[in-house]
Amino acid sequence: MAESLDPGALAAAAQKARKAARDAARKAETTEKDAGEKANILPPWEQEAEGITLVDTHAHIDGEDFDVDREEMLARAKQAGVVAVVTFGDTMEASARVVKLAASHENVFGGVGVHPENAFPLTQADEDSLASWTKAKNIVAIGEIGLDYYWEKDEEKRKLQRKMFARQLALARDLDLPVCIHDREAHGDLMSILKTEGRKNRGVIHCFSGSWEMAKELLKLGWYIGVDGPLTYKNAAKLPEIVQKMPADRLLVETDCPYLSPLPYRGKRNEPAYVRVTAECAAKIRGESLVNFAEQTTKNACEIYGLNF
């Protein structure tokens, strides 16, 4: 490891590179191919929201993507029936911003943690900061934490991710808080960590991308599973089948905004109101009404994250 370089600066540079790559990927997604589906669809905030109570259980609304219209964006979510948003930090800096957002908005809850793509050797001082932030108003979880082998190919850095993940899992156990886990192309290592050190943790595997077999194992271990925009994509692969088979009391819906906009908004900035699009898709797959599906998944969100609103 490049110990001589400031880990904070390295993490910031890595985050910048990741954001650039993601923005480029987002822009490259042509919206043209989905143009047909755009016809006759009103944005979620212009549709009837009577009786709909949704929670966007995984968002990143602290970043600059939302600096221009954060309050309006939250108002649109409310109009669409989104009664609460759980937003997650992915660096120390972002986590500090999440604490401020959660403290200043009744319907915004937060998680603090460091994302695997921004992995660096956590110091005791960093851990102490994370622990103290969890005492702030509306902070309900440790996250976003986990493993990402898609963006990280270097074995040494993957090792660092695992170390950091294990440390943040331990912190959550000490604080008796749920965790929100990111897992991209790291299913094997994730499962082995959850079966050992993480045996006594609880929480959510967000943006689930594994198989039904893996989902079943996670359910057995007590985990919740979150799904987002990709459920609506034509290449959703095994996800619709998993959503159909999932027990009602372990499923959550989320946006992961500003990324992963559902159809027909793919390629554009995502925002919490669009969780309704994913929820509609999931409800349809399960043969349920949106109102009932929203009620059940919101109940699940309240259970795992202890939300009060």
Residues that bind Zn ion (CB under 5 A): 144, 256
AA identity, residue 107? N
AA identity, residue 233? Y
CB of 27 to Zn ion, least distance (A): 19
Indicate the burial class of 108 (C-beta count within 10 angstroms; 0-12, 13-18, 19 or more). Answer: buried
CB of 301 to Zn ion, least distance (A): 15
The dihedrals phi and psi of 4, each to the nearest 5 degrees, come to -70, -20
**Closest chain position to Zn ion (CB):** 256
Q: What angle do CA 248, 251, 253 make, to 5 degrees?
A: 130
Q: Which is nearer to Zn ion, 114 or 290 (CB)?
A: 114
Q: Which is nearer to Zn ion, 118 or 300 (CB)?
A: 118
CB of 260 to Zn ion, least distance (A): 9
CB of 24 to Zn ion, least distance (A): 18
Distance CA 164, CA 160 (A): 6
Q: Which is nearer to Zn ion, 117 or 280 (CB)?
A: 117
Q: CA torsion sign, 4 to 146 to 255 to 82?
A: negative
Quick one: which of 262, 297, 299 has its CA closest to 283?
Answer: 297
Q: Which is nearer to Zn ion, 224 or 286 (CB)?
A: 224
CB of 287 to Zn ion, least distance (A): 29
Q: Which is nearer to Zn ion, 81 or 111 (CB)?
A: 111
